[in-house]
Structure 1
Amino acid sequence: MMRKLHASLFLGSVLLLALLPVAMPDPYLLSILASTGIFIVAAISLNLLLGFTGQLSLGHVAFFGIGAYTSALLSLGFDLHLPWLQQPWVVQPKPVWVAFASAIVAAGLAGWLIGKLAFKVRGAYFVIVTICFAQVMRMVAINWVDLTEGPMALNSIPALTLWTPDGLVNLVSKKSTYYLILVVATLAYLVVAAMVHSRLGRAMVAFRENETLARSVGIKVTHYLIIATIVAAAIAGAAGALYAHTVRIIDPDVFMFMFTVTMIIMVIIGGKGTLAGPVVGGLLFGMLPELLRGTVAPEVQWIIYGVLMIVVLTFMPQGIVPAVASLVRRLLPARAAAPAKPAVQHKEAV
């Protein structure tokens, strides 16, 4: 019954979001929702690690940045200067969707590398390795000026395109960008949901709860953790590529630690270890600053932001989605146990 309820809520939510530009076509609102949607995709990827395997990645923004730079560089073309090459290696611009797919692969490979290095020791070591990796990538983006343009930024990044009977259409309008991000976010949600409901997902939850017991029954913990990291990194890379092709200018700030903090807040407030948690937390804390803008002073906005976080974590320590789900579970049995109204009895005619 709960599975059917979840499916109905998912389909209803996607349909509602798809109809939103029709009901509220304001370009500013669509722009905010699109920006929020990109970080929701990144939060969905982080939730796969933090929520379902129990591994905290404080450098998750590294995969986001790798996806952004890979897609931007391949779509623009670049010259790679290496000491052992007499002539620079010239890479011609690639079609934007080829660049987008390459960004997902590059981020996934980075996740595989981090997983192989960090999960042999795990715990705090994984946190440290991910933080260091993100900082190293940021320094590379700043200092490898010949490739990344450094602080001057990569600009004029091509927009993603869509084939139509009339030819290719650049997805540059607010409405088209919104729908593009909605499609990618839906696919990311479905990929994570498929993993969670599979044997892999059950194994992840098992070693999150008790790793020793999971090992004793034959679960290859490190193997499954690496798979989860690859998938999480690939989805984060897709979010980064979306960011690059929608903002169309990127600089080393895509590796900022604050982006990781934003993802963690979305996951924890919404409810880590739940599929809908990053979506709910992302919509709430992604839209809140924009809703308060122009209403209260900037410093008051941050106060409201912090107070709301404290209130949610105090009264809903597991997050918003688990709290609501618990309330629904309590109400459903109560309705089922309620005595049925007696049928009206008709007296037999004498």
Structure 2
Amino acid sequence: MAGMNRFAFPACVLLLALLPLCWPDPYLLSVVASCGIFIVAAISLNLLLGYTGQLSLGHTAFFGIGAYTTALMSLGFDVTLPGLEQPLAVAPQPVWLSFAGGVLAAGLAGWLLGRLALRVRGAYFVIVTISFAQVMRMVALNWVDLTEGPMALNNIPAPTLWLPGQGVVELTTKAATYWLVLAVAAAAWLLVAALVRSRAGRAMIALRENETLARSVGIEVTRYLRLAAVVSAGIAGAAGCLYAHTVRIIDPDVFAFMFTITMVIMVIVGGKGTLAGPVAGGLIFGLLPEALRGTVAPEVQWMIYGALMIAVLCLMPRGIVPAAGSLLRRRRRPAAMAEAAAPAPPAPQAAAPATRGEAA
């Protein structure tokens, strides 16, 4: 079983990587790539919600910080700051350097929010995260000299890649965008998997289960919560960077509360606290609206979407992935019990020693 688990992830990634070759429909690839960006964001939220038990309803703040940071760095900007006589001018930077800057900025924001908010728990933490996201949205909306406000930042450069014999090429095709999103999603999944399987991850799970008991055995609660906040924010920032460089236009709506709700739905319906949960929930609830589009009226789409979500939560309260795992274990148990209860085959009898007469 361990060997199967070891090869399941690379096999899934390989199968997904073959999609543009087997089904090169540009619209399909665009939809799946957009869904993949929010799966990356859901993976980041799952680290905080699923493994430390802290619900963040302002997670879109880190998504937007990553998007705006990479966009501004790649486009360049000129802004006047209070206390400075000369305006601060930053020349356009390479895309991947801007991408790294967006991840770093989001991680730094997660660290600052962790220092401020992780001293509180429950509803207080939720209120702090929502307020933080709204503050970031108001900054993006009103700091017109830097962010262009509601007019949006456009013409954001596309990601680039060096290829042998071709030099630096822009990843503008739908297939190239899809592979880029798949690569970032796989890297985010591996990072979270390595973290939750480490000593720090076990400490985070202990905090989720019983924080008082974890403190009593010497686990540094604030330290591990802050680590989860920084890694979670950085991955969400990477999703925002992907969004900025693939859509190539952003406005303050990247801080919209609906984005956070989408992430929460993907995590909880898929199965919080599981590595595959955000992926399963993201694929189902990310692709479902597109599958229903053109089939039923828009208002009926939302009714089906909501009804399916309610049905999943009622029938599978722990999420799709844990329910599927329980079903597989129940199906294997009767076979294992039948095998254990089966009578053992009779042992072969040893040949009787020959008598003296028979020997003669």
TM-score relative to the length of structure 1: 0.96
2:221 counterpart residue number: 221
Amino acid of the residue matched to residue 309 of structure 1?
M
Distance 2:199 2:317 in 1: 28
Residues 67-126 of structure 1 deviation map (CA, whole Å, 9 limit, x = unaligned): 000000000000021121122111000000000001010000000000000111222221
Larger radius of gyration: 2
Query: Partner residue of 1:81?
Result: 80
Matched with 2:115 is 116
Letter of the 2:333 partner, please give it: P
- Residue 312 of structure 1 is matched in structure 2 by 312
Aligned partners of 2:25, 2:343: CA distance in 1, in Å? 49
TM-score, length basis structure 2: 0.93
Q: Indicate yes or no: 2:34 matched with 1:35.
A: yes
Aligned amino acid, residue 329 of structure 2: R
CA distance in 1, matches of 2:179, 2:139: 33
Determine the C-alpha separation between the residues in 2 that align with 1:170 and 1:345: 71
Q: CA deviation at 1:14?
A: 1.1
Q: d(CA) in 2 for partners of 1:109 and 1:9?
A: 34
Post-superposition Cα deviations, 1:157-183, rounded to whole Å, max 9, x if no partner, equal: 000101112210101100000000000
Alignment of 1:76-225 (within 5 A): 76-165=75-164, 166-225=166-225
Q: Secondary structure at the match of 1:52?
A: helix
| 1:202-254 C-alpha deviation (Å, 9 max, x unpaired) | 00110100011000000001110000000000000000000000000000000
Query: 1:185 is paired with a residue of what secondary structure?
Result: helix
Q: Match for residue 279 of structure 1? A: 279
* Matched residue SS, 2:51: coil
- Structure 2 residue 324 is the aligned partner of structure 1 residue 324: yes
1:332 Cα shift?
2.5
CA distance in 2, matches of 1:182, 1:341: 50
Shift of 1:20: 1.2
Q: How many residues align?
A: 345
What is the rounded CA distance, in whole Å, between the counterparts of 1:286 and 1:212 in structure 2? 37
Q: Would the alpha carbon gap of residues 218 and 342 (structure 1) be closer, same or farther in structure 2, given more than 3 Å must change?
A: closer
Cα displacement string for residues 253-273 of structure 1 (whole angstroms, at most 9, x for unaligned residues): 000000000000000000000
Aligned partners of 2:173 and 2:20: how far apart in 1? Answer: 12
Q: Secondary structure at the match of 1:163?
A: strand
What displacement does 1:5 show? 3.6
Q: Does 1:251 align with 2:251?
A: yes
5+ long unaligned stretches in structure 1: none
Percent identical residues:
71
One-letter code aligned to 1:63: F
Q: Secondary structure at the match of 1:72?
A: helix
The Cα offsets for residues 286-320 of structure 1, whole Å up to 9 and x where unpaired, read as 00000000000000000000000011001000000
Q: What's the offset of the Cα at 1:341?
A: 9.4
Match of 2:267 in 1: 267
Query: 1: CA distance between counterparts of 2:120 and 2:205?
Result: 19
SS at match of 2:78: strand
Alpha-carbon deviation of 1:342? 8.1
> What CA RMSD, in Å, does the superposition of the two structures yield over aligned residues?
1.6
